[in-house]
């Protein structure tokens, strides 16, 4: 005979009730089979666990020791079952999410905070990562989801837009460029800080397409990446086209000027997930982000 979980539960119920009749009622069995189970358990451990008289039932010293440990084991088993069910429902477990550096200044951050509040039993870990590297991290199962800039389509990766925001020109406050708005032709005549193709392919391609479609050749004086581009603008190296959310962080030193031709071409953030990812927590995460005010699903 082996000691199994069911037998431990039976023992604990009898130890709690100290009455075979009441214990049998709780266990939904008759009293004789219950007495037989306890007898087999005592044979298994090699010592009596209960003192029985015609009027009372009490634990022996050995039974008290066993009850102390068995109670904890039964509680652990119940917790195990509960956590297992919660995990299958996406209510318990872990989730690894990649976050593009510039995404940290968008409303997506508030959506992540909402998810933490709604799902406190999920260990949500955020990993800052360049968007260029996130598809590979999804495939390697290093990430469950990625909040990133759009990228070339991949058959095994699904994407959904979670935020769009305006692009505009940033310049130092004492820069004479300006007015309330500016045209792309005026921007092209400015000394511009561009985006490195290997580090920021999304912004690089977006701006290259805009200037090319307008038949303009921008004056690129230097290439860099965010947020270094903003530092270069503050240093007077040139001007730059950046998302509004990043420009507002430097409102004390930089001004943001809307560009007419950029209005229909906002900067986007997407949520990317690998098809076939079996993490049960992922579905709730996706639903929370898409339902949150400020994400593209609500705009």
Q: How confident is the model at residue 99 (pLDDT cuts 50, 70, 90)?
A: very high
What is the percentage of the chain residues whose pLDDT exceeds 90? 64
For residue 52, give the nearest of 25, 14, 6 by alpha carbon: 14
What's the confidence (pLDDT) of residue 59?
93
Residue 96 near residue 142, CB atoms below 8 Å: yes
d(CA 289, CA 293): 9
For residue 210, give the nearest of 245, 248, 246, 184 by alpha carbon: 184
Global pTM value? 0.72
What's the confidence (pLDDT) of residue 278?
86
Residue 161 near residue 269, CB atoms below 8 Å: yes
From residue 45, how far is each of 27, 48, 61, 179 by CA, in Å? Answer: 22, 8, 13, 89
**How many degrees, rounded to 5, is the angle at CA 84 between CA 81 and CA 89?**
130
**How many degrees, rounded to 5, is the angle at CA 248 between CA 224 and CA 133?**
40
Task: Classify domain 167-265 at the CATH topology level.
Answer: D-Maltodextrin-Binding Protein; domain 2 (3.40.190)
Residue 236 near residue 156, CB atoms below 8 Å: no
Q: Where in the chain is the domain with CATH 3.40.190.10?
A: 93-162+269-298, 167-265
Helix axes 281-291, 108-118, angle to 10 degrees: 130
List residues bridging with 95 in a β-sheet.
124
Q: How confident is the model at residue 297 (pLDDT cuts 50, 70, 90)?
A: very low
Our CA dihedral for 54, 57, 62, 65, rounded to 10 degrees, sits at 180
pLDDT per residue over 222-231, tens digit each? 999 988 999 9
Q: What number is the average pLDDT over the span 30-37?
A: 91
CATH number of 93-162+269-298: 3.40.190.10
Res. 294: pLDDT tops 50:
yes
5-88 classified as CATH 1.10.3720.10? no
Q: Where in the chain is the domain with CATH 1.10.10.10?
A: 5-88
Tokens found for residue 275 = 């098809």
List residues bridging with 146 in a β-sheet.
98, 272
Residue 116 near residue 95, CB atoms below 8 Å: no
């Amino acid at each position: 005979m082996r000691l199994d979980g069911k037998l431990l539960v039976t023992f604990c119920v009898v130890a709690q009730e100290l009455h075979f009749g009441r214990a049998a009622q709780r266990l939904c069995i008759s009293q004789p089979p219950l007495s037989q189970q306890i007898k087999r358990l005592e044979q298994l451990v090699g010592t009596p666990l209960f003192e029985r008289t015609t009027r009372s039932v009490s634990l022996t010293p050995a039974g008290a020791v066993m009850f102390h440990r068995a109670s904890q084991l039964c509680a652990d088993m119940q917790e195990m079952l509960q956590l297992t069910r919660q995990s299958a429902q996406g209510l318990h477990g872990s989730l690894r999410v990649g976050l593009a550096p510039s995404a940290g200044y968008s409303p997506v951050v508030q959506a992540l905070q909402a998810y933490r509040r709604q799902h406190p039993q999920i260990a949500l870990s955020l990993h800052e990562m360049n968007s260029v590297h996130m598809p590979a991290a999804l495939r390697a199962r290093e990430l469950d989801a990625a909040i990133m800039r759009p990228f070339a389509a991949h058959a095994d990766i699904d994407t959904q837009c979670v935020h769009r925001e305006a692009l505009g020109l940033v310049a130092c406050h004492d820069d004479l460029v300006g007015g309330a708005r500016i045209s792309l032709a005026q921007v092209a005549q400015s000394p511009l800080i561009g985006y490195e193709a290997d580090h920021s392919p999304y912004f690089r391609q977006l701006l290259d397409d805009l200037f090319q479609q307008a038949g303009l050749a921008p004056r690129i004086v230097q290439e860099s990446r965010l947020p270094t581009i903003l530092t270069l603008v503050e240093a007077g190296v040139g001007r730059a086209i950046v998302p509004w959310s990043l420009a507002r962080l430097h409102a004390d030193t930089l001004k943001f000027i809307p560009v007419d031709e950029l209005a229909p071409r906002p900067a986007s953030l997407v949520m990317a997930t690998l098809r076939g990812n079996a993490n049960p927590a992922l579905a709730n995460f996706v639903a929370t982000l898409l339902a949150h005010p400020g994400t593209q699903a609500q705009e």
